[in-house]
Structures are given as C-alpha cells and as structure tokens.
Amino acid sequence: MRVLLIQPPLLNFATMVAPNLGLALIAAVLEKDGVEVKVIDAAAENFSIDDIVACAQKFRPDLAGAGGQTPISYLSLEIFKRLKGEVSPLITTIAGGPHFSFTAEESFQKCPHLDIVVRGEGEYTIRDLCRRLGSNLPINDVEGITYRAANGSPVKNPDRPQIEDLDSLPFPAWHLFPVKKYHWTNINMLGSFTSRGCKYHCPHCITWKIHKGIRRRRPEKIVEELSWVKKNFGVDTFFFHDDTAFTDRAHLEGFLDALEECGEKFYWYYEAREDDFISFRDLWPRMKKNGLFKIALGLDTPDEKVRNYYGRKAFKVTEIEHMLYHLKCRLGIQVSIYLLLGAPWATEASMKKTLDYAKHLYPRYASFVMTTFVTPFPGTEMFEQMYAQDLITTYDWRYYSFGMPVFKMNIPADRAFDIYKKMWMDVYARPATVLEIIKNLFSRNKFNRALAKNFLSMPAQMKKMATVKSVSLLNPCESAEKPLYVFDRTIREIKFENT
C-alpha cells in the first residue's frame, strides 16, 4: 500500500521552519508495518497545491493524509479535492490533528472529497486503517475514526485508548523529510517530545482535551533519540514540541542525568509555564551547561482578573523580573515571553496594561516578546463558551491565526487591533532594540547572533502591519455560517464587565 502524508503550506514563517513531528511519527509506524510512505512538506519546500498534486501524480498513492492547524485546515480540504479530481477518485483521503478531531462532521459537510477523520493520536489508528483498507476489509470497528458511510452521513466510531507507553513508538522517519530546510533562525533544528498531555486545564488550550492526563517518555529514551538524530542527520539542536515539557522535577533531573551520562553535546529549548520553571531555579545552571539555550514562557497577562479566567495564579512582578534577568543576563539563556490580548471581558485599560508590560520586559528582561490575540480554537473550553453565547464573530477558520480578534469584546475590534499594532511599534521601534541587536551581533553566543539577524527583518514586517487600517480588511468573511455543535457537558457562562 502507498501512503502520501502531506504538510500543507503555512501562512508565514517567522524565526522557525519546523517539521511536523506528528507526521514523522506516523510515517515511522507505517514503514515499520511494511507500508510505502512518501512525505510532502509543502511548508519547508515552499510548494503550492499545484506542486503537491504533481508529486502525487508521480507517486500514485492509495491513501493521502493531511492535517494542519485551524487556520490552514481549509488547505487540507482543497488538497483532497484536487487529489480526487486530478490524480484518482479512488484515493482514500484522511484528515487528522486537533482541528479535525473536533470538527469532523462539519468538515465532511464542507468537503465531499474527505473520506475519514482520525481523532486524537493518529499513529496506530492510521496503521490499522492501512491494514484494513489494504486487505479490502471494513473499517466500521477501527477505533478513533469518524468516516463517511455509503449514504454520505458521518459515522463516529468509539475513541481509541491513548498510547500509554510512549517509548514504544519508533523514532521519527526524518529520512522522508527535507531535514536541512528546518531551522530556528539560521540554525538547523529538528523536533522531539518528552511527554503528551498536560496537568493544567487552561480554557484556551486544546492539549488537555486531546490527551487525558499526562504521559512521559523515559529520559534515557529521549536522549537516545537525540543521539540517533545527531548521528544519522547531523543535527544537534532540538525543540521539544510539548506545550509544557518537564513539569515534573524528577523527570527533568532524569533527563539531565541522561545527557551527562551520554557525553554528547546537544542544544535544546522548550515552552514552559513560569510557575513550573521558577520552581527549578536551582537546576538552571545545570540545564544551561547541558545545552538549554532558550526558554519560552507563557506569562499571558499581568491582569489578575484575566489570568484567573485563564486558570493562572497571580504572579509577583519582582519575582518574575528577577528570574528573567538571571536567565538572560547571568546565565545567557534566551528568554521568549508570550502575552495574550483580548480576553472575553478585556477592556481597553487591561489591554494597554499588557502592552505596557511588554514594553517593560523587552529588552532588559526578555530576548523577545510576542503578543497575540487569544483565539478560541474548536474543541477548547473557551470556544464552547463563546459558541453557546453567540460571541464568535466569524467561523471562517482562516482567520484563527492569533493576529486578530474573532469574538465580541468590550471594545470594538478595530480598536483592539490598533492596540495590537501599537504593541509592535512601541516595543520594537525604539533605540533599545537597535542597541540589543548590535550587542547580539557581536555576541560569542551563536544563538544570540542568529536572533539578531532575525531582528533585522522586522522593519519590513512592521511596515506591512502598519498599512492595515481595519480588521474588516483582514476578515471579510464574517458571514460564514455558524456550524452546529453539540457539547457533552454544561458550559459555564462568560460574564462581561462594563468598560
């Protein structure tokens, strides 16, 4: 059986062109089962849909799978349409990933060329589908799928149990990917993972809805994979894809032990919550020594009421500043800070408070600050709340890209977007940024030099953003029909304050 796995084109590239780790793991499982697999990473290869179709015409797959985040999910559906029409109507098309896991029925309605949706973890589900389809057997008892029945209606099979032993998964099939095209700034990089799931239940996050609880890989297995990648592909820099890696102290210490025992040098970074990361302060020097070059922290907002809605405790500003200064200036670890604008009841004052905080953090305490609009992705608790209260202003998924408000707030959308634009100008269009770039350009640290070179491209991006006068110019499809969703639990109401 021939399987084509597709990463659709992305909206844009910033500092990182990252491989799709999920596809790499699925490909590895399928190859181990004797399936012939081809991967097209349209994002890394800068391929159009025409290019994807041309590759498929040469490969002639029996099955084609694609996924993608919410804002590019429509591209997967367009690809399926083109494959069925221009390659073969007999190709079985499969969509997967978090977005399709929660929008299966809607996706079948939108795209008559979609055959199957894989819900949740896809490695063994797709393997089982290949076994059944390759032997012309029915798929009505394959767990973890929703499929189109003969009469056209969607049929939802029971969920598949989670993969409890993550160490049983083979290493990613990077030999099928354009490895040299993946990078952080200009440094070749690949991805890995330490765990699946999350111990937190943030209303705007999908991870805990996809993965129940948290499962961790053995530290020795993680390091074994890093060593294998370095030996076979020449890559020594890694990003851990977990939303919150190393939330357990013993797990982190075990990873550091395994790195030291291995004796090889790797460079790595990951995303964390500040409350987790600050509890490991005594391990920071050891983490730096063993290759941690960057930490990405989601502080969300300094506004206590908004943080409470996000399920986050208030933090002490001085404690956070001390942590950031120590990491960036004493240990030489890059610090990226992520902040959120536009909670449901956000006021202009609360949004400006977040803006002022971003200006305060960069560049003294942070190497980079990114502020985006909180986005209610399908499947999240926030989406369920806003859907139930009719607060969402567009169901055109193309605009769920963090760059604009897609729900009603206490302030007009255009005003919120003006504040967002102002953040970029106020934070980065100032002399302090120039001084930081010059300092990093002459740094001994290769990662700081790479970051400085990336900053040199920012003026063009900021100029482009400044030309956008209204979110209505970005979001012309507010008339997109409201899909029908039925939720299996009581939805708590969002209550608004007056501005």
Angstrom CA distances, 57 to 64, 87, 134, 137, stand at 12, 5, 20, 26
Q: Point out the least confidently predicted range of 246-250, 341-345, 495-499.
A: 495-499
- The tokens describing 94, both together, are 């499969």
> How do 2-7 and 63-66 pair as beta strands?
parallel
What is the arithmetic mean of pLDDT over 488-492? 55
pLDDT band for position 468 (cuts 50, 70, 90):
low
Q: Are 293 and 334 spatial neighbours (Cβ–Cβ below 8 Å)? A: yes
Share of the chain above pLDDT 90, in %: 71
The predicted-structure confidence for 167-210, as pLDDT tens digits, reads as follows 999 999 999 999 999 998 889 999 999 999 999 998 999 999 99
Per the model's pLDDT, the better-predicted residue between 39 and 11 turns out to be 39
Q: How many whole angstroms separate alpha carbon 163 and alpha carbon 87?
A: 34
What is the arithmetic mean of pLDDT over 19-32? 98
Domains recognised in the chain with CATH numbers: 2-156 (3.40.50.280), 175-474 (3.80.30.20)
What is the arithmetic mean of pLDDT over 158-174? 98
Share of the chain above pLDDT 70, in %: 90
The predicted-structure confidence for 89-108, as pLDDT tens digits, reads as follows 999 999 999 999 999 999 99
Q: What mean pLDDT value characterizes the chain?
A: 90
Is the pLDDT confidence value at 368 over 80?
Answer: yes
**In this structure, what are the phi and psi dihedrals at residue 438, rounded to the nearest 5 degrees?**
-60, -45
Q: How many whole angstroms separate alpha carbon 190 and alpha carbon 174?
A: 9
Q: How many whole angstroms separate alpha carbon 403 and alpha carbon 132?
A: 42
Q: How many whole angstroms separate alpha carbon 47 and alpha carbon 8?
A: 9
- Stated pTM of the model: 0.92
- The tokens describing 286, both together, are 């050891």
What's the number of CA atoms in the CB half-sphere (13 Å) around residue 138? 6
Q: How many whole angstroms separate alpha carbon 278 and alpha carbon 246?
A: 12
Q: Point out the least confidently predicted range of 218-227, 240-249, 426-435.
A: 426-435
